[in-house]
Amino acid sequence: MLQRAFRHVKSFDSPIVFPKVPGKSYPQPNGPEWRHRSDEFEALERTFNLAAPLIHVDPEISIGNIRLRDYYCHHFYNALTPGHANSLPMPEDLPDATYQFTCEFGGLTKTLLLMPDVLWPYLTETQRMKWQSQFPSGRITGRRRTTGGCSTFARSRSQEKTDMPSTRIY
């Protein structure tokens, strides 16, 4: 299934998007730019649900000369970096509070909580520091409230070999 999805990836830098059915698919050709970001993020996150277990088992796995871990690190980093051409809009920049990003963030969070070793360890130190600076201290937690942000949570989860701890996100 993932191989079929990657048929629509033209190059490492191109976002994964699925073919459109005229008049039925979103975004419509004249739709606002944020709907195109939503479409790209939805395809990225949903295919990541398939790719993450594969990356977890074999971090070197590739499809069509694209190493999956590198592809997903690159595209999630771009999507979650304000100011990047492929970055997601902030809720206050959208016309209302209901949008597809909410669902996709939930899916991404679930996958990363279950398998934190598939994305975070492969980001560069610069990328990690940039992401950490975007989250106020204590907003992302593992077993206890921390001031270390994402890396503290990911590091503590990737070093554990026990069952999932109870997790709270403030």
Residues 6 or more apart whose CB falls under 8 angstroms from that of 94 comprise 34
Q: Residues 123, 140: one domain?
A: no
Number of Cβ atoms within 10 Å of the Cβ of 45: 25
Q: Residues 14, 59: one domain?
A: yes
Overall domain count for the chain = 2
Q: Residues 100, 162: one domain?
A: no
> For residue range 90-105, what is the model confidence (pLDDT) as tens digits?
777 777 656 677 778 7
Q: Residues 161, 118: one domain?
A: no
> For residue range 135-153, what is the model confidence (pLDDT) as tens digits?
555 444 333 333 333 333 3
Q: Is the dihedral of CA 140, 143, 144, 147 positive or negative?
A: negative
Q: Residues 44, 102: one domain?
A: yes
> For residue range 52-90, what is the model confidence (pLDDT) as tens digits?
999 999 999 999 899 999 999 999 998 888 888 888 877
Q: Residues 97, 160: one domain?
A: no
Q: How many Cα atoms occupy the beta-carbon half-sphere of 104 within 13 Å?
A: 20
Q: Residues 76, 105: one domain?
A: yes
Q: Residues 74, 129: one domain?
A: yes
Q: How many Cα atoms occupy the beta-carbon half-sphere of 110 within 13 Å?
A: 11
Residue 12 CA to residue 144 CA, distance in Å, equals 38
> Facing residues of 67 across strands?
62
Q: Is the dihedral of CA 73, 55, 11, 30 positive or negative?
A: negative
Q: Residues 67, 145: one domain?
A: no
| Domain around 45 | 2-19+28-134
